[in-house]
Homo-oligomer: A and B are copies of this chain.
Amino acid sequence: MKKEARESNVLKAKKSEFSEWWEQILPAADILDNRYDTKGLWVFMPYGYSIMLNIKSLWDGLFRESGIKEMYFPLIVPLSYCEKNESWWKGFKEQAFWVSGKSEEAKHILRPTGEPAMYPLFSLWIRAYSDLPLRIYETVFSYRYETKQTKPLIRDREIGPWYEIHTAHSTKEEAIQEIKEAERMNDVIWQKLAIFPLKVEKPIWECFPGAVGATEYYTLMPDGRVLENGSLNNLGQAYSKKFDIKFVDAHGKEDYAWQTCTGNGERYLGGLIATHGDDKGLVIPPEIAPIQAIIVPIYYKDDKEKVTKKALEIKKKISSIARVEIDLRDETPGSKFYDWEIKGVPLRVEIGPKDIEKKQVTVVRRDNGTKMAIAEAKILKEIPELLEEIQKNLLGKSKSLLEGSIGIAETKGDLEDSKKDILKFLWCGSERCWLEIKGIKEGYELFGSDLQESKTEGKCIICGNKSKKIGYFANTY
């Protein structure tokens, strides 16, 4: 293998050139290596994977607390299971990875989503209302033979780690309540990621194959497009009828279970990098950051020992209140600053001879570049305060960015002409108008409607019928 000469930690592109920036930032910040010899497959580097695992432990904690049990279902799914729900199979057949022993005919695929491996077992486990609710999840990688252009953390052939929650209930109402619970948990995750997403309702014809309704999250990307980032699907009884998931209720009557499924994963990380990053690299929100503060000792030859000793002392102190590391590599301070800025560590703590003299440290915020001196005696109080401020600042910025990107369209013509990334407008709720909107501007579409209706009734900007629904229009990934 020829060793490619690559300046692996160099970020040249501006964030405004999003595609180039994305391609450079992921290897430069040690998120992924993109040199694996197969399309759409990447290697997760230690730093990137540690951020991903921090996000994963967020969801593990939330699901466990909510009483959802973790399980694992096989990756390899027999066709007999896949074919049970033809609308699911139709949706995933073309992009399946087929798998078999050498020179055998393939009768299995790799899981593209969890349903067909799970629901035949649900059918065995669920018999009476006392077996319900069933609330389980798994965290896995899933596989789709994407023919579209792949983009790491956005459109992969190996998707994950991601979770799928699957639940079954004895009533329709309980299933709807479960979607609310999934929404509550997702809102906590977004808070920790310091991202303000757009939450929309999907009409039935745009739902996950077989589903009867969905709430979906979208995050705004730097190129003005929106990325679907998590789905909460109400499956109704569509799957339970196909997979024969029946229960006997308290009165002895048989009925099909009401189901939901919810999934997301690596796109949380994609959204995080895209939302907060800047021309210098990543900006990781403190709640998620594997390293919240990086200590860089600054010395000339004579001071080295003294400064290093003090820096180690400060590290020990900070380690009681934050995730802290010290950079003792044999490099210039400038090159260390550069590396940790690319990696997006929230706080840089510099310690030099003058700081020691003044019994202080010099702290630089990654989110806004502010530099300040903090008295050694106040470190334990001020570092956590700063981390909290950074978290708030990032969330606030994300909110302003999203809100600032949304404009109002009052006519069909506005959809074409407006300079805003996202347009909201009144829509009658019909499939016909939905489809008509799709053609207006290349790549743009009506991608969902607001969870709340408009307070006053108006007219659909396409057909002119009375309408209270608020639709959203944007260029989607």
Contacts and interface: CB of A to CB of B under 8 A. Distances in A.
A325 to B, nearest CB: 12
A120 interface: yes
Given A43-B74, A102-B94, A3 B127 contact: yes
Interface in A231-278: 243-244
B97 A100 contact: yes
A3 B81 contact: no
Interface in A96-121: 96-102, 106, 108, 110, 117, 120-121
Interface stretch (A33-41, A190-198, A211-219, A338-346): A33-41
A100 B96 CA distance: 9
By size class, the interface of chain A is 35 or more
- Which of A42, A69, A75 counts the most B-chain CB atoms under 10 A from its CB? A75
Given A36-B120, A76-B158, A96-B102, 4 more contacts: A1-B120, A4-B124, A49-B71, A98-B102
B136 A46 contact: yes
A184 to B, nearest CB: 22
Nearest to A32: B72
Contacts of A87: none
B74 A36 contact: yes
Interface in A1-25: 1, 3-4, 6
A37 B243 CA distance: 14
Top 3 A-B residue pairs of the complex, sorted by shortest distance between their CB atoms:
A46-B69, A44-B72, A41-B74
Contacts of A98: 99-102
A63 to B, nearest CB: 12
A141 interface: yes
Contact of A123 (B1, B80, B145): B1
A53 interface: yes
A373 interface: no
A45 interface: yes
A414 interface: no
Interface in A126-168: 127, 136, 141, 143, 145, 157-158, 161
B78 A3 contact: no
Contacts of A108: 38
Contacts of A76: 38, 41, 97, 143, 157-158
Contacts of A124: 1, 3-4, 6, 33, 35
A70 interface: yes
Contacts of A120: 1, 36-37
A50 interface: yes
Contacts of A89: none
A73 interface: yes
Contact of A37 (B80, B100, B141, B157): B80
Contacts of A81: 37
A415 to B, nearest CB: 37
Contact of A3 (B3, B100, B123): B123
Contact of A33 (B42, B80, B121): B121
Contacts of A121: 33, 35-36, 43
9 contacts: A36-B73, A36-B121, A41-B76, A43-B72, A43-B73, A49-B72, A72-B161, A75-B143, A98-B101
Contacts of A71: 43-46, 49
A395 to B, nearest CB: 28
A4 to B, nearest CB: 7
A9 to B, nearest CB: 12
A52 to B, nearest CB: 8
Nearest to A157: B76
A99 B94 contact: no
B74 A1 contact: no
A64 to B, nearest CB: 10
B99 A110 contact: yes
Nearest to A119: B1
- Which of A4, A71, A157 counts the most B-chain CB atoms under 10 A from its CB? A71
A310 to B, nearest CB: 24
Nearest to A108: B38
A74 B3 contact: no
Nearest to A37: B78
Contacts of A145: 101-102
A102 B97 CA distance: 7
B99 A70 contact: no
